[in-house]
């Protein structure tokens, strides 16, 4: 296996320390404490998963435990470079239509059975059939297994995102002998109970909405890892108890925090380390989505007027404490495919009112033009509810009456949006590393489905379909970027969505946590190198 940069660094430090010991300049015990093995890492999170199988479920809630329980073919560093994991080497064909994975020969599942190419083939086809990201494995036709340690993924067209799709949160390798029993994978009982994984930690306990306990898998295929003996994921519906636990030291890591009050508090706490690194792959955007099937939102002039009435600087600075940055397009700025040439809507209330007049929606005697409802994801007040309330007061200034409709819980909101039962909704959606995986799903007319986080806006533009389909089958990143540049220009002019802000995810840890996960996938990646000082 090719050693990671961190491994090379430790080896270099080890050599230097050994030399220092020989020279009598450094006590041996000092080097022995460089990596302290053992101990329990307690992670606090508001993200409560329904189950633990990331092969059939997207989202951060599932990704964090799934990437500990299940290994993937590859992992990625903080520079977007693929690294060996279950696959010790790999090769994408020159035509981009096949990816060959050469697997390790010493990897076993938690029940001791070997991980083979048959498991990889089963898992990839299961993901294709069940995962909500239909574009991620869409071109995959089959997976050939010429021997137990070689898997060849065959695709109908060149697929530039296939290597990234081998990531921990996107491609967990499942045991075929467990999940290949014919039961529906989305509701399989082993998604939550007696989970047999392939990753660095194995499941001990799962109490939905309360906690997940995982312990070190002593036959994990990477020698000496994981460093920790146990992971405990403490779940809470709000951040108050988690913040107190972190400050007391009862909780050691608190990922996915976005609330400005908490971030400001954590930033000034000398006992806490705070980083926004590790979320580049997620690429989260907070936005306002329109249902284009409903009048008057079917009128692009109305959508442009609403966009013009929103002050993004107020949203990011006043409502989010300056931790968030405005967003203007569907691809996050940290992506290699982002472009600055977008159609933008500078804040101007007078212009917005004039645009509504021009669209034929004159104000009545009470100053009202029309009424709409706005939904939001519950439990994320600063990114969702507070913005929805701001929009209610802001759009009233241009004659639009908004009814802010609360959902009792996330499933209630998701059911409404999936059924297209909304006028406008707040939403947080991820790029997931490559536009093919996380962006195409929102804009392809072929992905208008009764499923949340698809094209629930009912946006249909044949030119956009053509551009995305072409970009999704090109290997040359320069050519791909040119297609995406045209796509971004068109979609920001059509305004099926108003992009509000980049979500300011941070990871907070107590000082004794070392090797905090800051790869492009951050906490949604294996924590096998994390240790407690």
pLDDT tens digits for 138-192?
999 999 999 999 999 999 999 999 999 999 999 999 999 999 999 999 999 999 9
Residues whose CB is less than 8 angstroms from the CB of residue 451 and which lie 6 or more positions away in sequence, other chains included? 132, 418
CATH for 32-236+507-532 is 3.40.190.10
Assess whether pLDDT exceeds 80 at residue 20.
no
pLDDT(24) > 60: no
Two structure tokens written together for 216: 């070190």
**pLDDT score of 12:** 39
Backbone angles phi, psi at 316, to 5 degrees: -80, -35
Cis-peptide into 296, omega within 30 deg: yes
Assign domain 284-502 to its CATH architecture.
Answer: Roll (3.10)
As a whole-number percent, the residues of the chain with pLDDT over 70 amount to 94
Can you give the pTM of this predicted structure?
Answer: 0.87
Q: Which residue has the higher pLDDT, 477 or 27?
A: 477
Q: Are 451 and 418 in contact (CB under 8 A)?
A: yes
Q: Which of 28-32, 276-280, 525-529 has the lowest mean pLDDT?
A: 28-32
Q: What is the pLDDT of residues 111-126, one digit of tens each?
A: 999 999 999 999 999 9
Give per-residue pLDDT as tens, 195-243: 999 999 999 999 998 999 999 999 999 999 999 999 999 999 888 999 9
Would you state the pLDDT for residue 173?
Answer: 98
Tokens representing 468 are 């995305």
Residue 68's pLDDT is 97
Reference 156, options 105, 96, 103; nearest CA is: 96
Residue 481: its pLDDT value, please? 96
Q: How confident is the model at residue 28 (pLDDT cuts 50, 70, 90)?
A: very low
pLDDT in tens, 97-114: 999 999 999 999 999 999
Q: Whole-number mean pLDDT of the chain?
A: 92
Supply the pLDDT for residue 257: 94
Element of type H or E holding 455: none
Look at 409 and 267; give whichever has higher pLDDT.
267
Positive or negative, the CA dihedral 298, 300, 305, 306 is positive
Q: How confident is the model at residue 457 (pLDDT cuts 50, 70, 90)?
A: very high
Give the pLDDT of residue 387: 98
| pLDDT of the residue at 46 | 86
pLDDT score at 17:
37
Sign of the alpha-carbon torsion through 444, 445, 451, 452:
positive
Distances (CA, A) of 268 to 65, 274, 511: 29, 10, 13
The answer, yes or no, to whether residue 509 has pLDDT greater than 60, is yes
- Distance, in Å, from the CA atom of 12 to the CA atom of 1, rounded to the nearest integer, reads 18
pLDDT at site 522: 95
Could you give the percent of the chain with pLDDT greater than 90? 87
Confidence class of residue 132 from pLDDT cuts 50, 70 and 90? Answer: confident
Domain boundaries, the chain: 32-236+507-532, 284-502
């Amino acid at each position: 296996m090719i050693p990671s940069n961190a491994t090379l660094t430790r080896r270099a430090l080890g050599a230097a320390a050994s030399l220092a010991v020989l020279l009598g300049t450094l006590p041996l015990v000092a080097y022995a404490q460089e990596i302290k093995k053992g101990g329990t890492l307690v992670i606090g999170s508001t993200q409560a998963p329904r189950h633990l199988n990331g092969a059939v479920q997207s989202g951060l809630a599932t990704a964090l435990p799934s990437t500990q329980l299940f290994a993937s073919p590859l992992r990625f560093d903080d520079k977007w470079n693929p690294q060996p994991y279950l696959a010790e080497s790999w090769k994408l064909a020159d035509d981009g239509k096949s990816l060959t994975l050469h697997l390790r020969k010493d990897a076993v599942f938690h029940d001791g059975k070997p991980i083979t190419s048959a498991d990889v083939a089963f898992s990839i086809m299961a993901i294709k059939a069940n995962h909500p990201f239909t574009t991620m494995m869409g071109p995959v036709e089959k997976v050939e297994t010429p021997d137990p340690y070689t898997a060849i993924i065959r695709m109908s067209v060149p697929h530039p995102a296939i290597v990234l799709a081998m990531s921990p949160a996107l491609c967990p390798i499942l045991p075929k002998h467990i999940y290949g029993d014919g039961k529906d994978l989305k509701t399989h009982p082993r998604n939550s109970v007696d989970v047999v994984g392939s990753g660095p930690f194995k499941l001990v306990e799962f109490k939905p909405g309360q906690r997940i306990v995982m312990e070190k898998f002593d036959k994990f295929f990477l020698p000496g890892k994981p460093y920790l003996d146990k992971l405990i994921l403490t779940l809470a519906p709000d951040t108050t108890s988690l913040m107190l636990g972190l400050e007391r030291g009862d909780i050691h890591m608190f990922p996915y925090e976005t609330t400005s009050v908490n971030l400001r508090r954590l930033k000034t706490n000398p006992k806490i380390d705070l980083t926004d690194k590790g979320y580049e792959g997620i690429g989260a955007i907070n936005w306002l989505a329109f249902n284009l099937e409903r009048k008057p939102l079917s009128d692009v002039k109305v959508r442009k007027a609403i966009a013009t009435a929103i002050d993004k600087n107020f949203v990011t600075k006043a409502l989010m404490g300056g931790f968030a940055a405005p967003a203007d397009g569907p691809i996050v700025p940290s992506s290699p495919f982002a472009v600055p040439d977008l159609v933008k809507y500078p804040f101007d209330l007078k212009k917005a009112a004039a645009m509504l007049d021009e669209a034929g929606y004159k104000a009545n005697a009470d100053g009202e033009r029309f009424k709409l409802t706005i939904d939001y994801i519950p439990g994320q007040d600063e990114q969702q509810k507070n913005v929805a309330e701001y929009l209610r007061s802001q759009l009233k200034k241009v004659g639009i009456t908004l009814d802010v409709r609360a959902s009792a819980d996330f499933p209630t909101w998701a059911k409404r949006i999936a059924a297209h039962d909304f006028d406008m909704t707040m939403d947080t959606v991820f790029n997931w590393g490559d536009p093919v995986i996380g962006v195409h799903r929102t804009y392809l007319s072929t992905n208008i489905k009764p499923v949340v986080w698809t094209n629930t806006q009912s946006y249909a533009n044949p030119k956009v379909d053509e551009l995305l389909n072409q970009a999704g089958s090109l290997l040359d990143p320069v050519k791909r970027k040119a297609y995406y540049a045209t796509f971004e220009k068109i979609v920001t002019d059509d305004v099926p969505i108003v992009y509000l802000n980049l979500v300011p995810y941070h990871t907070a840890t107590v000082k004794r946590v070392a090797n905090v996960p800051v790869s492009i996938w951050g906490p949604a990646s294996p924590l096998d190198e994390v240790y407690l000082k």
